[in-house]
C-alpha cells in the first residue's frame, strides 16, 4: 500500500473510534443473561456480553470499510439489485444479468432442442473483466450494472461508483446476424484499467445422442500464426496457450460461443473443459486470458450462433475452421466439392433425403470415367487369367521374384496396366472419408426427417434394445443395416469379377468382416451418412451392370492377342525397373523384351 492509502486508513480508523465513543450505549437495565427477542417469528436465548450489545452500525461500517479496501471508489456498485434487460433481433435474443452486466441467457430463435424446447445456448455463463487494484483484482462480475440507455438492438449498462467513477458496458447487435459487439470502458480518478478476461460456461443437453454431443464439445482457439488448436474433445482436458490467440471458442456439436478481442490475447491463456454425466450440464468450459495490454477500454466481437459453414465464413476471422471437415485432402474435398454442391442443391428447397440422393448421383457421375477405366482393367485381368494360371504353375517352385518378372512381362506384352484399377479407388477413398466428417457436422440436417429417420444428423432407430451392446449401442439403425448388407453384396460381386477369392482365399474372410465392423461403428453415427453409403453402393451396382452389358470380353481378348504381336515398348515403369534391379542383384536374368 502507498503512503496515501495508509494515511486514509488511519483517518478512517480515527473517525470510527470517535464515532463509537460518541454513540456508545447507556448502561442497560437488562440482566446480562436475559433472553433477547431476535424477531417476531422466533425467540432465542442469547447470552449478553458484560460490555453490552454491539450496535449494528459497527458491522455496517466494518463491511463498508472492507468493500472500500477491495473495490475502492467502485464500492457503491456492489450493492445488490435485480435488473434483467434484453436486446434481440430476428435470430437470437440476449438477456443480461444486473450482476456482472453480461449475457446470462441467449436463445436462438431458429432452433429447438431435440425435445422441441427453446434452445438456450448455455445453461449459465460467467463473463467479466479483471481490474488490478491494491495488489488484487476488482472483478466486474461482482459489480451491479444499471441500465443507462436501451434500444431494441443496443444496451448501455453502467456500474456507478463514487466521485463520478464508473464501469460501462455497451452491447450492440445488428439485424439478421449472430454477431454481438461489446465495448467496455472504465472511468476512474485512480486510473484503473482492464487487464484480463475471465469466461466460464456450462452447456446443457440439446441433441438426441448425448454421448456424441459431449464428445464433440471442446474449446478451440486460433493462433496468430493461423493455426486452429483445440482441447481433446473426449473427456476433460486443459492447456495453456503457447502463442497469442486471435479468438477463443466454446464449441458445442452444432453451436458455438466465440469471443474475438480487438487485439489478440497474450500467450499463456488458461483453457479447460470438464465433461460431466447425469443431470445438469454435460460439459463446462473455462478460460482466463490476458489482454494485449492494460487499458481503460476494451473491445470485443462475440459470435453466439450455429456452426453453419457459410454463416461462420461470412463472419470472418476463419471461424468456419470450427467445423471439423477433416485434415488435408479430406478437408479440401469437403470445402471445394461437397459443400458447394450440397448448398447448390439446398437452394431448391428439396427434402434433405432427396438432396443427399442427388449429391450422391453427381459425385458418382464425376467418378464415372475413372470407374469405367477400373472396370476395363479388371476385364483385361480376367481375360489374362488363364495365362496367369499357367505362369503360376510354371514358376510354382521358382524364385518369387522371377515369377513376378514373368508376370510383368506378360502385362507389358498385352498392353495391360495392373495398377489401372487402383486410380478410381484412390479417388473415391478421399470422398468416402470426407463424407465421414461432413454429415455428422452438417447442421442443415439437424432435426430434418426422411423416411423413418427423424433426424438425419443423428442415428435412426427402428428398434430400441432393452440392453446395450458394447460399441454397437442400444438401438438398431436400419440405414446402418442396409449399408452393411449392400457393402457385403458389393464385395461378393467385386470378388467374382476380379477373381480375388481364387487368388487370395486367405483374405476372403477379412473382406466380409470389414462391413460388419463398420456396422458396429456406424450404428450410432448420423443416419445421413449411412444413407449416403447405401446409395453409393446401389448406384455402383447399377454402373457395374451397365458396364457388363457394354463390354465384350471376347473383343478385349482379341485386342490383347493383337497387342502381343506388336513390338514391345522398351519403356518400363518404375516398378518394373525396380524388379530388374533386384533381379540383377540376385543373379537372375531379366525377362526378354
CATH (domain of 251): 2.70.98.90
Same domain, 102 and 202: yes
pLDDT tens column, 336-377: 999 999 999 999 999 999 999 999 999 999 988 888 888 887
Of 294, 323, 352, the domain-final residue: 323
Contacts with 249 (C-beta within 8 Å, 6 or more apart), sequence order: 219, 220, 221, 256, 257, 258, 259, 303, 319, 322
Same domain, 299 and 393: no
In the chain, how many domains are there? 2
E-strand ranges in 296-442 read 297-306
Classify residue 101 by its DSSP letter. Answer: S
Is residue 212 in a domain? yes
CA distance 78 to 99: 9
What pLDDT, on the 0 to 100 scale, is given for residue 574?
57
Same domain, 299 and 355: no
Contact 494, 487 (CB under 8 A): no
Domain assignment of residue 139, given as a range: 77-323
**Strands of the 146-150 sheet, one edge to the other:** 146-150, 154-160, 166-173, 179-187, 297-306, 255-261, 245-251, 218-223, 228-230
CA distance 153 to 100: 19
CA distance 284 to 272: 8
The alpha carbon dihedral of 526, 532, 538, 540 has a sign of negative
Q: pTM of the predicted model, to two decimals?
A: 0.79
Is residue 236 in a domain? yes
What pLDDT, on the 0 to 100 scale, is given for residue 586?
53
Contact 385, 502 (CB under 8 A): no
Same domain, 318 and 339: no
Same domain, 357 and 288: no
Backbone angles phi, psi at 579, to 5 degrees: -60, -40
Contacts with 194 (C-beta within 8 Å, 6 or more apart), sequence order: 129, 130, 131, 184, 186, 291, 294, 295, 296, 297, 298
Is residue 116 in a domain? yes
Same domain, 134 and 151: yes
E-strand ranges in 26-102 read 86-88, 92-96
Is residue 588 in a domain? no
Is residue 177 in a domain? yes
What pLDDT, on the 0 to 100 scale, is given for residue 39?
35
HSE on the CB side for 243, CA within 13 Å?
A: 11
pLDDT tens column, 7-59: 555 555 565 555 454 444 444 333 333 332 233 333 333 333 333 444 444 55
What pLDDT, on the 0 to 100 scale, is given for residue 29?
39
Question: Which segments of the chain have a pLDDT < 70?
Answer: 1-63, 398-400, 414-415, 418-424, 497-508, 563-593
What pLDDT, on the 0 to 100 scale, is given for residue 49?
36
106: enclosing H helix or E strand: strand 103-112
Of 285, 306, 323, the domain-final residue: 323
Amino acid at each position: 500500500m502507498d503512503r496515501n492509502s495508509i494515511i486514509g486508513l488511519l483517518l478512517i480508523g480515527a473517525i470510527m473510534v470517535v464515532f463509537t465513543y460518541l454513540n456508545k450505549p447507556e448502561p442497560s437495565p437488562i440482566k446480562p443473561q436475559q433472553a433477547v427477542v431476535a424477531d417476531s417469528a422466533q425467540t432465542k436465548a442469547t447470552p449478553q456480553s458484560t460490555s453490552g450489545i454491539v450496535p449494528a452500525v459497527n458491522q455496517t461500517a466494518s463491511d463498508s470499510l472492507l468493500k472500500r479496501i477491495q473495490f475502492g471508489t467502485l464500492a457503491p456498485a456492489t450493492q445488490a439489485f435485480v435488473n434483467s434487460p434484453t436486446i434481440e433481433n430476428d435470430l437470437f435474443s440476449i438477456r443480461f444479468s444486473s450482476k456482472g452486466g453480461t449475457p446470462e441467457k441467449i436463445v436462438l430463435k431458429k432452433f429447438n432442442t431435440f425435445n422441441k424446447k427453446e434452445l438456450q445456448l448455455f445453461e449459465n455463463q460467467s463473463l467479466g473483466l479483471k481490474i488490478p487494484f491494491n495488489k488484487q483484482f476488482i472483478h466486474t462480475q461482482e459489480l451491479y450494472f444499471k441500465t443507462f440507455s436501451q434500444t431494441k438492438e443496443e444496451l448501455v449498462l453502467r456500474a456507478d461508483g463514487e466521485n463520478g467513477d464508473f464501469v460501462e458496458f455497451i452491447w450492440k447487435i445488428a439485424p439478421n446476424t449472430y454477431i454481438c459487439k461489446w465495448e467496455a470502458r472504465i472511468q476512474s480518478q485512480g486510473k484503473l484499467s482492464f487487464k484480463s478476461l475471465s469466461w466460464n460456461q456450462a452447456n446443457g443437453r440439446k441433441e438426441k445422442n448425448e454421448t456424441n454431443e459431449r464428445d464433440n464439445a471442446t474449446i478451440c482457439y486460433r493462433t496468430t500464426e493461423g493455426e486452429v488448436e483445440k482441447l481433446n474433445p473426449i473427456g476433460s482436458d486443459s492447456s495453456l496457450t503457447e502463442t497469442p490467440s486471435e479468438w477463443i471458442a466454446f464449441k458445442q456439436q452444432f453451436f458455438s460461443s466465440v469471443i474475438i478481442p480487438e487485439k489478440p490475447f497474450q500467450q499463456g491463456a488458461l483453457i479447460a473443459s470438464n465433461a460431466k454425466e447425469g443431470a445438469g450440464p454435460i460439459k463446462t468450459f473455462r478460460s482466463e486470458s490476458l489482454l494485449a495490454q492494460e487499458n481503460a477500454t476494451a473491445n470485443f466481437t462475440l459470435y453466439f450462433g450455429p456452426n453453419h459453414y457459410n454463416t461462420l465464413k461470412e463472419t470472418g476471422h476463419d471461424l468456419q475452421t470450427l467445423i471439423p471437415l477433416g485434415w488435408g485432402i479430406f478437408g479440401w474435398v469437403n470445402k471445394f466439392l461437397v459443400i458447394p454442391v450440397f448448398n447448390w442443391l439446398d437452394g431448391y428447397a428439396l427434402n434433405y433425403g432427396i438432396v443427399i440422393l442427388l449429391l450422391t448421383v453427381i459425385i458418382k457421375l464425376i467418378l464415372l470415367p475413372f470407374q469405367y477405366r477400373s472396370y476395363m482393367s479388371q476385364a483385361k485381368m480376367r481375360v489374362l487369367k488363364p495365362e496367369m494360371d499357367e505362369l503360376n504353375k510354371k514358376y510354382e517352385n521358382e524364385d518369387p521374384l522371377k515369377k513376378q518378372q514373368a508376370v510383368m512381362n506378360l502385362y507389358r506384352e498385352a498392353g495391360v496396366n495392373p495398377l489401372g484399377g487402383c486410380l478410381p479407388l484412390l479417388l473415391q477413398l478421399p470422398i468416402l472419408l470426407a463424407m465421414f466428417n461432413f454429415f455428422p457436422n452438417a447442421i442443415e440436417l439437424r432435426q430434418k426427417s426422411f423416411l423413418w429417420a427423424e433426424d438425419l444428423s443423428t442415428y435412426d432407430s427402428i428398434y430400441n434394445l432393452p440392453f446395450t451392446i458394447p460399441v454397437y449401442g442400444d438401438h438398431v439403425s436400419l440405414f446402418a443395416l442396409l449399408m452393411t448388407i449392400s457393402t457385403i453384396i458389393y464385395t461378393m460381386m467385386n470378388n467374382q469379377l476380379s477373381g480375388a477369392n481364387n487368388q487370395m482365399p486367405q483374405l476372403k474372410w477379412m473382406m466380409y468382416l470389414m462391413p460388419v465392423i463398420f456396422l458396429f461403428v456406424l450404428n450410432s453415427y448420423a443416419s445421413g451418412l449411412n444413407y449416403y453409403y447405401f446409395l453409393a453402393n446401389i448406384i455402383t451396382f447399377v454402373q457395374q451392370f451397365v458396364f457388363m452389358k457394354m463390354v465384350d470380353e471376347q473383343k478385349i481378348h482379341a485386342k490383347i492377342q493383337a497387342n502381343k504381336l506388336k513390338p514391345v515398348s522398351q519403356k518400363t515403369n518404375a516398378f518394373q525397373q525396380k524388379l530388374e534391379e533386384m533381379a540383377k542383384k540376385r543373379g537372375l536374368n531379366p525377362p526378354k523384351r
